[in-house]
Structure 1
Amino acid sequence: MLSCGHEHRVRKSRDFFSEIIAQGIVWSIRDDGGFPTSTSPFGVTAIPFWPLESRAQKVIDNVGAYRGFRTCRLELSEFMERWLLPEKCLAIFRPRFQGVGTIPSAKH
């Protein structure tokens, strides 16, 4: 049996990929230093991505650590070739902007 937390992460991941495939675009944020990263309690480094520019912009507008960042549009093909690799870890964000995301496992 899957835990509620696991089911939630799988659902968020599925929704994210459905949206980006439908649009052909993925959004992240960056500044002159590049893309922000965070590290999970397990030592996994993640890079944030959103299915909509408005969601990425909401984080920039509401999370102090990201002030000065700008949204960054990635074509789906670039995202898949550059970021969607087994050695990479994604942080998938849904409508909330508190800076909390889902980090899917490569097993998903």
Structure 2
Amino acid sequence: MGQPASQAAAFYKDVSKSGKLWTCKDDGGNPAPKTSSGKRAMPFWSSLSRVEKIIKNVPAYSKFEPQEVSWEDFETKWAPDLQEHGLLIGVNWSGARATGYDLEPNDVLANVNHQRHQNT
């Protein structure tokens, strides 16, 4: 399993257990950089420590602050809004350039909910 795949698997597992996820924000809102496909993706991480590491180590994110999102809010508000606006979700981006898998919001919902069902 490659780095992005293992980060995605950790994301689904961690979010399904904790019931929360993290993004980051500044006075202008949340980042949504263009991906290699030309679509925009908003990053989300499965733990506070993951987002803090990106903020600390990736210059483009240095002015952002962590933002906690409950799974319920993500499922009912964030994901539908991202889907409506054609944005992807970056899951547990990592590394010097904060990269990883960029997925459709409905795929992230399905994968986390599948993991949650496995945990019950």
TM-score (norm 2): 0.71
Distance apart, 1:88 and its partner CA: 3.7
| 1:83 equivalent in alignment to 2:82 | no
Q: How many residues align?
A: 102
**Larger helix fraction of residues:** 2
Distance 1:50 1:81 in 2: 18
List 4+ stretches of structure 1 deviating above 6 A: none
Equivalence map 1:63-102=2 (5 Å): 63-85=58-80, 86=83, 87-93=86-92, 96-98=94-96, 99-102=98-101
Distance 1:93 1:39 in 2: 16
| 1:53 equivalent in alignment to 2:77 | no
Contact 1:58 1:97 in 2 (8 A): no
Distance 2:104 2:4 in 1: 9
Higher mean alpha-carbon deviation, 79-88 vs 47-56, is at: 79-88
Distance apart, 1:38 and its partner CA: 1.1
Change (3 A) 1:25 1:47: same
* Per-residue Cα deviation, 1:70-108 (whole angstroms, up to 9, x for no partner): 0000011111122223444100115x3421121124684
Change (3 A) 1:66 1:12: closer
- Code of the residue aligned with 1:89 in structure 2: it is L
TM-score (norm 1): 0.78
Distance 2:37 2:7 in 1: 20
Q: CA RMSD in A?
A: 2.4
Distance apart, 1:48 and its partner CA: 0.4
Contact 2:20 2:69 in 1 (8 A): yes
Fraction of identical pairs, as percent: 25
Distance 2:37 2:46 in 1: 25
Change (3 A) 1:107 1:73: closer
